[in-house]
Amino acid sequence: MTKSESRFISGISELVVLRLLAAREMYGYELAKAIAAAGGHELRMGEGLLYPLLHVLESQGILQSRRRMMGGRPRIYYRLSAKGQRRLERLTMRWRGVSKAVNAVLEPTNG
């Protein structure tokens, strides 16, 4: 994957992360698996890069986290906050609008 492709995926990964965490609380590995299950190879990126994104979203109040001890190690679970829910709705609307417009450009015009 080239750098520009990677940036493109990073841009939409916030939307994907928010959508998946809106469904249920997850920790990093679970979330990476959920992304792979939902998007297959199309949304694949370095799974470790999820963590900077999760930390930023948490620092912005979009995600909330809680720590649970699992097998003697702390594991951090993330979930959407009320602010995150509003952001998800805004991003979803924007994405639908943009993808509709891009599809209109990409698809052949009739007559």
Partner 1 sequence: MAERAYAPLGTQLLRAGMSPSRVRRTVNELEDHFVALVDEQVKRGVAPDDAVVAARQRLGTDEDLLTGMLAHAEFRSWGARWPWVCALVPGGLLLVAELAVFSSMPIALFIVHWFDQSPASVLAPGSSVAFLDLVVIYREILLYGLPLLVAGLLGVYAARRRLQLLWPLIGIAATTALGALISFTVQAPIPGVRLGRIGAALTFNPNLHGLERFGLRWTLVALVPAFLYVIWQWRSEIPN
Residues that bind partner 1 (CB under 8 A): 27-29, 32, 45-49, 51-52, 55-56, 59, 73-76
Closer CB to partner 1, residue 40 or residue 46? 46
CB of 46 to partner 1, least distance (A): 3
Closer CB to partner 1, residue 67 or residue 100? 67
Closer CB to partner 1, residue 52 or residue 97? 52
CB of 33 to partner 1, least distance (A): 9
For helices 3-23 and 50-59, the axis angle rounded to 10 degrees is 60
Residues with Cβ within 8 Å of 43's Cβ and at least 6 positions away in sequence, in order, are 9, 12, 13, 16, 35, 36
Q: Which strands make up the sheet holding 73-80, listed edge to edge?
A: 26-27, 73-80, 63-70
